[in-house]
Structures are given as C-alpha cells and as structure tokens.
Chain A
Amino acid sequence: MLVGNVLLCVAALIGVSCFAVWACRRPWANSAIYGASAVFCAVALAGAIAALVGGAASTLTLPLGLPWIGMHFRIDALAAVFLCVVNLGGAAAGVFALGYGRHEHAPQRVLPFFPAFLAAMNLVVVADDAFAFLLSWEFMSLTSWALVVSHDRSAETLRAGLIYIVMASFGTLSLLLAFGILAGPDGHYAFSWMRARGPNPNETMIAMFLVLFGAGSKAGIFPLHAWLPLAHPAAPSQVSALMSGVMTKVAVYAFVRIVFDLLGPIDWRLGMVVIGVGAVTALLGVLYALMQHDLKRLLAYHTVENIGIIFVGLGLALAFRANGLTAAAALAVTAALFHVFNHSLFKSLLFFGAGAVQAATGERDMDRLGGLMHTMPRTAVTFLIGAAAISALPPLNGFASEWLTFQAAFLSPSFPQWGLRLLTPASAAILALSAALAAACFVKAFGVTFLGRARSEAVNLARETDKASQFAMFALAGACGVAGVFPGFFTNLLGPVAQFLTAARIPAQAIAAPWSPLLPVAASHNSYSGFVIAGCLIVATAVVAFAIRLVANGASRRGAAWDCGYPDASAMTQYTAGSFAQPIRRVFATIAFRAREMVFMPAPGDTAPAEFKATLHDPAWDLLYTPVGKAVGFLADSLNRFQFLTIRRYLNLVFLTLVFLLTVLALWP
C-alpha cells in the first residue's frame, strides 16, 4: 500500500505540526521540528520513488470528510512524480532550515505551519476526489498564507498577505466551479467517475478556462501572478523556496491532473491558448525580474517565467494530442514535467542562497550588497550553479529540459493547422528570448550581489552560512548537475507519466553508458549529451588552467581596481541592479512597462545634486487589478445602504423578492 505509506507520512507531519504548537518556544524546537519534517519528507520521497518505479496505481478510501462518501486517495505515475518534487523540496527546505531557522525572531509563528504546509501539499497530490482535493488545496493556501504573514510587523507584508489570500480564494472558487462542471448533474465527486463520464465540448472548454484561472493563479501565470512577487519574498526563506519551488508545481499538477486526465479530448484551439499564455508569461516574467533590485523578488519573478516555460510545454502537448500526434505530445509533456522537477531544484537552491545572504547581512536589496564572494564563498558557488542552471546553461539541468521543450516546438511543422504552425515557432522564439534575458538577469543578480566591492558595512561583517544550510545548498547544486549530465535517466522515469497522459512515450534512453546522448525523437534527429559537454567543459577548463599556471607567474597579488580615471573610487560607483538593466529597460520595458527616464539638472551655478528618475508601470495592475478593485469598491459602497434599513423594509424586501421569484417561476415557459 504505497498510498498508505504516504498518508502515514502526512499524518506524521500533521502530528509534528501539532507538537510544534506546544514545543515552539523551547530552545531545541527548531532542530526537532525541521529535522522531523525533513525525515518524514524523505520517507514520503522514498515511497514516491517506489511508486514511480513500481508503476502500479495504488488507491485507498478513508472514512473521513463527507459521511458515507469518505475521502479517496490514489497514487499513479503522475502523482508519484509530483510527490517526488514536493518531498524532495520539502526535505531540502527542512535541512536548510535546521540552521537557517535559528535566525527566526518569532519561531512560534513559523514552526507549527511549516510541517502542516508540507502535509497539505502532499495531500493535494494524492487526493482522488474533488472534495479531498479542494479541502487539501485550501489547507495548503491557508498554511502558506500563515507563513507569508509570519513577519507581520510591516505593512508591506500585510498587503502581500491580503493580496495572496484574495487571489487564493479566487483560485479555489474557479477550481470549485470547474469540479462542479466535471461532476455533472449527478454530482459525483470521485475522479474515477469524472474520468469515466467525459464532459461535452462546451463543458470541456469552460472547465479548462476555469482550471487555467484556478491553477494558474496559484502557479503565477500572467496576469494572475500579482500576488506571487509580493508573497514569496515576504515569507521566511525556507518557505519562499517551498512556495516558489514546490507550491507552484502543485498548481501545475492540478492543471495537468484536471486538463489532461479528467477532461478527456481537448480542442487544439485551447492548446493554442495555453501556449500563448505560457509564452507571454515567460517573457513578461523575465522582464519583470530584470527590473527588480530586491533579490528575493527577482527570484519570485523568475518563477513566473519558468511557469510560462512549463505551460508552453503543456500547451504544446495539448495541441499535439488533439491532432493525434501522440509521440510529439509525449515529448512536450516529458519536457514540461522535467522542467517542473528541475525548476523545483534550482529555484529552491537560489532561494536558499538568497536566504543565506539575507541572514548574513540583513539585506535583500542588491544595491546594498556586493562582494559577498569573499565573505561567503560557498554560498556564492552554489548560487552561481543555481543561476547557471536557471539560465539554461549546459551541462546543467535547466538546459536539458528547455532543450527538450524546443525539440517539441521543432516538431510544429507536423501540425495540420496553420495557426499552430505559426504560433509554435513564434512562442519558441519568445522562449529563446526569455532564456537569454534570464541569463542577463542572473549575470546581474550574481554580479551585483556577490562580485565587486561591498556597498554597505553589513556585507563586510557577513559570515559564511551554517553547515546545515550549506549541506542543503550543495546537495541541490549536485542534484542540478546530476539531472543535467544524465537527463536520460530522468526522462525514462517520466515515461509512464507520458504514457498515462498522452498514450505514448519518448524513446527509452540508453543509460548504461554515461556518455550515451539524449535522443528525444529518434536517432536521426537532434541529440544532446550532457555528459560529453560536461566532460569537454572540464577538460577545456583544466587545459586553460594548466596553461595559465604554466605560462603565468604563480604568485597572486592584489592591486587597486582600475578606476577609469575617476579619483573617487567609492563602492557606490559600481554597477547597480538598475544601471545594469538600463539597456534592457530601454529596449523592452519602454513598451511593456511604459518605462520612462527623467533627468533633472540643476541650473548652472546651483549646487543641488542632479537627479535621475526611472518610472515603471505594471500592466497587470494598471489594466486589471486597479479597475477591478475600483469596481468592487463602488459596488460595496452602493450596497452598503442595505446595512441600515428598518425591520419593516427588510421584511418588505424579503416578501417582494419571494413574490417576484414565484412570479418568474409561474411565467417560466
């Protein structure tokens, strides 16, 4: 009973959470709670891997929840993959927090919710009926909300919490309506029943849009991403890593589960919608990220970008599947799920790095950091590996999955519809652009934070982070490397999932020899061998290093940096986040965000400093949230009068409404 094992882990996590309510103020609570969470996540991870390798679906019905119906749970290949993602991220966050959590000022606000949040994410993935799913989904939203507002001293955090809870409620409402449509007039909530029923095309279309809104608002597709860059940075870093690296993946799981599994056949036009939404999300996500100077917010916007890449893959899979091109659909879905896994690795890693920097310096603003390479070399190295992975540089894992997505996009000439033939290369080009911009963004993030000279005194006082955090970061960095060098191993594991979702799978990869290349389509098509590239890179680096050692003087010396002839070599004259991004801001953001730059020069003779001002407008807020917020406020104000009627008026209102409804019923044709 694999599902039973996972549920036992969930129960244990909830038990840890209850225990934490009692124990949270003790000095040993931090190690005990995070250690126990990590251990139970590791056990659940083992169960998930067993389920993935074993292949057989395992179900269980517990007499909880609705009387006589109970709650259904099931682990199949799809759930097993996402369980791996959830529990790997959970275990890593637990280990990281063993050390990092000691910096927490108010552990009683974080400790009880952390294991509960992990339990909720596990429950969403194993739920097999709409009731269990929505209940766990709400549990996940509420626990993560509690973690977001755990540092509730600042107005910014409270605003983030408010926006998050509103968006979470909106998402759950959409999912609730989608399940309502899927359940049909008979109202059966079990997924097996929904799968067997098969809704008609109109229901499918409405349900798919509802799921896109519901799961998309949690995953962070444009323009429903607005809560994400506010809420993710507000939480403690181990929670930011979980929310960005794992919870968004649970939302992707919801989308895949409902759209691919429960909805049945889907029109190719809906696939086009998903591809378009994904491409726009990817491009705008990375452009937003480039404009940031808060390290954690930058990372949160990169989550938006990567969700866009994943949705492009999923949309391609839908479009291929609608046209009966199952092999191509299998490739696209494998690419998307592989990217889900990879993103959970490197995004957790990057948030750990940002958390370590924040704990060491007390700063998240990159313009007050700099030069951390000297004080925190290990954090810097792991952050660099994560940055290279997210920028899709070979031989790391980000490249492998993005490359697979491109391979799927290259199969677009086989589409019979011209719309898809044109849209797919266009969105592939957008993906290429956003990958390049992501690389630029991480050159900025790493360069401004870790290179150069310190911009504030806090940086000089920084110390390398503790051993547990270092272990978590190096483990994830190693995992990024392994997944990049041996991608065939992972795509083979994703084979049963692709089989389940698209009735086909990509060719099984040879993994006996480490240098055998990844062949996503056939031996005659493109291939990629991470091992060979990694080997070439290592050999090339070694040769260059050896040559330099051979030719150059071995002694190292430290001199003054060339100051371009300026006499004042203040640290503030270095490149900042804003100045590094200026060219990109001028080229792209002038249109996307209506970016404007203004220079105020004092009159000649005036000793006032010149001023430079750059303004940005967020299109999601300008075009969507602000008008909607105004409309809601207006409606609330106009309905407010009904609060102050007399009893007789209320009675009259009830009576007239009743008579009106009865009349409508009597006259209904």
Chain B
Amino acid sequence: MSTFAFDVSHFLAGSLVLLSFFLLYQDRLPPLINIFAAQSLVLAVSIAWQAQTQNAPHLLVTAGIALCFKSIVIPFVLYRLIRDLRIHRTVETVVGIGPTMIAGMALVGLSMALMMRATSGIADLAREDLAFSLSVILLGLLMMVTRRNAVSQVIGFMSIENGLVLAATGAKGMPFVVEMSVAFSVLIALIVIGIFLFRIRERFDTVDVAILDRFRGERP
C-alpha cells in the first residue's frame, strides 16, 4: 500500500477519534447531533477510501449505508425528537469537562498501548485502525457513562457503533451480511429508543435518567 493511501486512512481514522472528543465535551444537544452527523460522514468517507484501497466494491455499499442512515436519517430523526420533546435548548450538566477529557486521553493511550502490542505482526494500517476504533468505542462508552440525558446516551451508543464499523472495515474481508445487520440493528435501536423516550417523557415529564431511577419498581 502506498504511503499516501496509508496517510489518508490514518488521517480519517484520527479525525473520528477527534470528533469523539468533541462529542465528549459538547453540552448542548443540537451541536451534539451535528457532531455525530459529522463523525458518521467521516466514517462514510473512510469506508469509501478503504473500498478504494482494498479493491472491495461491496464496502461502497457499507459507506452508502453509513452516509444515508447515520449522517442523514438518524440526525434528522434526533432533531425532530428533541424538538418535539422541547429539550433542544437545554444545557446539560456534564460532570467536570476537564477530568472527562483527561480520562478520554488516558483511554486513547490505553487502546494504543494495547492494540500495538496485541496486533504485532499484521498490516500497519489494520493496527492503526483497530487502535483508533477501540478509542472511539471507549470514548463512546465514557460518554454514555458521564451523561445524564437519554438523548446524549443514545448518541454515545451510536458512536460506539461507528467505532465498531471502523474496526470491521479496516480488517479485510468482513462479510457484508454482518455490516447490513449491524446497520439495521442500529436503526431499530433508534426507533425503539425514540418511542421509549416519548413514553418516558409522557409519564415522568423528563428524560433525565437519574430521575427515572426513582421510579423503578424493585427499589423500596
């Protein structure tokens, strides 16, 4: 593989991680959705580039799915969702931006150290891709853990899926069926979560999960 092709892939994967950091500290919902759309767009470009360099035309379909669903349909639906829920102007209280960012950097360091050791012996590009995708996954999880708003948790979940797809396309020869089913499962998750959010809101007047905890039946 030429150095140029490697550099471009590297750059795109790095951009995904950078956008994950954006997601981590953004505390208003509309920009959060924008960043997610941007991340999905970068992912689509990255997959298309992989299709080019790996000579794998079926990856173009994957890229198309990422582009259509994740950077257009899902953000659009989420926009409608927060508008209908009337939470598009709320500012979320994110626990300590500074510590969260430091934790995020530590996670990136961890995944680099781990993946570079674990994958010695395979192609360089795949190693970098795996390291970056693990970073994206861990950052998405961190986001889910630190946020209290259900919508931002959904976005964290979706960005985890972005990381998974990045890892899958970096490794050569992922079956197309797998990618399709992952894409559809994410869509279904979106639908289910959307419906649930409305139901929750109807019932409890909030989508703050900390407040939902009070209503759990098991707890005395």
Given A655-B141, A659-B138; A648-B110 close (CB under 8 Å): no
Which residues of A are found within 8 Å of B107, using beta-carbon distances? 659
Which residues of A are found within 8 Å of B117, using beta-carbon distances? 666
| Contact residues of A between 250 and 264, Cβ < 8 Å to B | none
Whether A50 is near chain B, meaning CB under 8 Å from some CB there, is no
Which one of A120-128, A349-357, A588-596, A639-647 is at the interface? A639-647
Chain B min CB distance to A48 (Å): 49
How many angstroms from the CA of A658 to the CA of B114 in the assembled complex? 13
Complex interface bits, A644-658 against B, C-beta within 8 A gives 1, otherwise 0:
101110011011001
How many angstroms from the CA of A181 to the CA of B27 in the assembled complex? 53
Which residues of B are found within 8 Å of A658, using beta-carbon distances? 138, 141
Which residues of A are found within 8 Å of B145, using beta-carbon distances? 648, 651-652, 655
Candidate in A654, A658, A662, A663 with the most chain B CB atoms within 10 angstroms: A662
Instruction: Tell me the nearest residue of chain A to B219, going by C-beta.
Output: A644
Which residues of B are found within 8 Å of A647, using beta-carbon distances? 209, 212-213
How many angstroms from the CA of A276 to the CA of B207 in the assembled complex? 67
Whether A665 is near chain B, meaning CB under 8 Å from some CB there, is yes
How many angstroms from the CA of A231 to the CA of B216 in the assembled complex? 43
Whether B73 is near chain A, meaning CB under 8 Å from some CB there, is no
How many angstroms from the CA of A659 to the CA of B109 in the assembled complex? 12
Whether B56 is near chain A, meaning CB under 8 Å from some CB there, is no
Whether B111 is near chain A, meaning CB under 8 Å from some CB there, is yes
Residue contact B113 to A666, C-beta cutoff 8 Å: yes
Residue contact A665 to B118, C-beta cutoff 8 Å: yes
Chain A min CB distance to B138 (Å): 7
Given A659-B107, A659-B138; A648-B209 close (CB under 8 Å): yes
Which residues of A are found within 8 Å of B148, using beta-carbon distances? 648
Whether B142 is near chain A, meaning CB under 8 Å from some CB there, is yes
Whether B144 is near chain A, meaning CB under 8 Å from some CB there, is yes
Instruction: Tell me the nearest residue of chain A to B148, going by C-beta.
Output: A648
Instruction: Tell me the nearest residue of chain B to A665, going by C-beta.
Output: B114
Which residues of A are found within 8 Å of B111, using beta-carbon distances? 662
Whether B84 is near chain A, meaning CB under 8 Å from some CB there, is no
Chain A min CB distance to B11 (Å): 25
Across the interface, A651 reaches (CB within 8 A) one of B110, B113, B144, B212, namely B144
Whether B195 is near chain A, meaning CB under 8 Å from some CB there, is no
How many angstroms from the CA of A346 to the CA of B7 in the assembled complex? 82
Chain A min CB distance to B178 (Å): 20
How many angstroms from the CA of A646 to the CA of B145 in the assembled complex? 12
Instruction: Tell me the nearest residue of chain B to A664, going by C-beta.
Output: B114
How many angstroms from the CA of A651 to the CA of B212 in the assembled complex? 15
Complex interface bits, A206-237 against B, C-beta within 8 A gives 1, otherwise 0:
00000000000000000000000000000000
Complex interface bits, B177-220 against A, C-beta within 8 A gives 1, otherwise 0:
00000000000000000000000000000000110110010110
Which residues of B are found within 8 Å of A659, using beta-carbon distances? 107, 110, 138
| Contact residues of B between 128 and 158, Cβ < 8 Å to A | 138, 141-142, 144-145, 148
Chain B min CB distance to A641 (Å): 12
Instruction: Tell me the nearest residue of chain B to A653, going by C-beta.
Output: B145
Instruction: Tell me the nearest residue of chain A to B114, going by C-beta.
Output: A666
Instruction: Tell me the nearest residue of chain B to A658, going by C-beta.
Output: B141
Residue contact A655 to B218, C-beta cutoff 8 Å: no
Chain A min CB distance to B84 (Å): 23
| Contact residues of A between 617 and 659, Cβ < 8 Å to B | 643-644, 646-648, 651-652, 654-655, 658-659
Which residues of A are found within 8 Å of B144, using beta-carbon distances? 651, 655
Chain B min CB distance to A661 (Å): 10
Residue contact B213 to A646, C-beta cutoff 8 Å: yes
Which residues of B are found within 8 Å of A655, using beta-carbon distances? 141-142, 144-145
Across the interface, B210 reaches (CB within 8 A) one of A644, A648, A654, A666, namely A648
Complex interface bits, A273-303 against B, C-beta within 8 A gives 1, otherwise 0:
0000000000000000000000000000000
Chain A to chain B contacts (Cβ below 8 Å), 11 pairs: A644-B219, A647-B209, A647-B212, A647-B213, A648-B209, A648-B210, A651-B144, A658-B141, A659-B110, A662-B111, A665-B118
Identify the 3 closest CB pairs spanning chains A and B, nearest first.
A646-B213, A666-B114, A666-B113
Known: A655-B144, A659-B138, A663-B110. 14 other contacts (CB 8 A): A646-B210, A646-B216, A648-B148, A648-B210, A648-B213, A651-B145, A652-B145, A655-B141, A658-B138, A659-B110, A662-B110, A662-B111, A662-B138, A666-B110
